[in-house]
A and B are shown apart, each in its own frame.
Chain A
């Protein structure tokens, strides 16, 4: 399968941006953004859909850590 060209990349990125804006406006509610989600999956290769979803999860996680802090994992309870 051939890689997306410049125009196709842009269409995919725009669809992703629309989806992310919808999710931002609806507190990450997947139900509210079904239309954008299916448009996004239509315009982007499956690998890219997965890649961008993981990217969004990561960006959200990073934002959470930066604003709320995090508790480090506890070490082993038993002495090794």
Chain B
């Protein structure tokens, strides 16, 4: 059996012995002070009650100060992140694509709206439907808040060879009613993707001519100026995305 020894345990032992001695000294002092005027017990308890109250207030004040400093640090960290993302300056360019109704749309058409943008393809086995479901859910949550402007969900294909207007039309109706699908020529699509540094690489075709496009999986948040503000990866839930967008909207309005 190990025997604890050394300077640290000595201090520990002394600490354990000290308080009771000091407490009884305090009680003796207060007892002798109040002996003349008040009854013994009420004098001691009044002093104890005020002492307790003062300690609680002091402790509460400390806690409040700590909470405020913590909150302020979180705000600053969030602002720094937004600044850094702004420096990365994705989505500075323009794009010109065709939507799922055949109408030509450019980036200009979406200025003035908050946009949640996702790049994917319709032949995607599971990831794109999951992410679009998540995006739709986030937009639905934000729709419920009447004080916030409506968010425009966008889906841009990384597979222009197969995802023409009819394919997009079929695809987007399974998600949020406001979701707009965008496609175009391979050049137009590549240009839009490059603007957001999207990685996309079609895999080998099998005997049916089917293939899977390997691509980066991100949901981008664009401000009404068309500036890239934030991004959300696979691990962010729809609630987290909605909270983050709400946060951005509120701070944006303050500016």
Contacts and interface: CB of A to CB of B under 8 A. Distances in A.
Interface of A: 1-3, 5-6, 9, 13, 45-48, 50-52
A27 B45 CA distance: 70
A9 B129 contact: yes
Interface stretch (B85-93, B101-109, B167-175): B167-175
Given A9-B129, A52-B125, A3 B209 contact: no
A9 B175 CA distance: 13
Contact of A1 (B125, B171, B210): B210
A2 B208 CA distance: 11
Contacts of B210: 1, 45-47
A47 B122 contact: no
Contacts of A5: 170-171, 174
A32 B174 CA distance: 36
Q: Is chain B's binding surface mostly helix, strand, loop or mixed?
A: loop
Contacts of A2: 167, 170
In this complex, the member of B123, B170, B174, B207 whose beta carbon has the largest number of chain A beta carbons within 10 angstroms is: B123
Contact of B211 (A9, A13, A47, A52): A47
A61 to B, nearest CB: 19
B167 A3 contact: yes
14 contacts: A2-B170, A3-B123, A3-B171, A5-B170, A5-B174, A6-B174, A9-B129, A13-B126, A45-B123, A45-B210, A46-B208, A47-B123, A47-B211, A51-B125
Nearest to B123: A3
A42 to B, nearest CB: 14
B170 A3 contact: yes
